[in-house]
Structure 1
Amino acid sequence: MNTQLALDLRLARRKAGFTQDDAAHLLGVRAPRLSVLEQGRKRPNLVQICTLSLIYGRSFESLF
């Protein structure tokens, strides 16, 4: 996976002021799953990227 995307996801969450638990709940997954995405071990699907961009108040394009 693109490690830059993983880093961008983690930084966007932190800048938005969310814990992993909070963001995972809003995304509809458990915190360990979000952690895997933020570590770059798995790639988020398109729906997850769109949802995270809305949760974090970022444009979809800014996460790429």
Structure 2
Amino acid sequence: MKVFLDATKCAGYGTCAEICPSRFQLDEFGYASVIGNGEVVEGEQEKVLEAARRCPEKAITTA
């Protein structure tokens, strides 16, 4: 699975980084980005999917 974050939709809630800090980080302004190349390793898939579901702006997608 691969995770994508649309930075134009991110409003800086930080929910994704709280749920899955191994895959999402916040910049100095509080906006999220994906750590690494977006490849989700085994064991963090559920957390990534939860982060996508709970993103208020629906900025996170997976494929």
Q: What TM bracket, shorter-length normalisation?
A: 0.3 to 0.5
More helix by share: 1
Q: What's the TM-score once normalised by structure 1's chain length?
A: 0.42
**RCO comparison, higher one (Cα < 8 Å, 6+):** 2
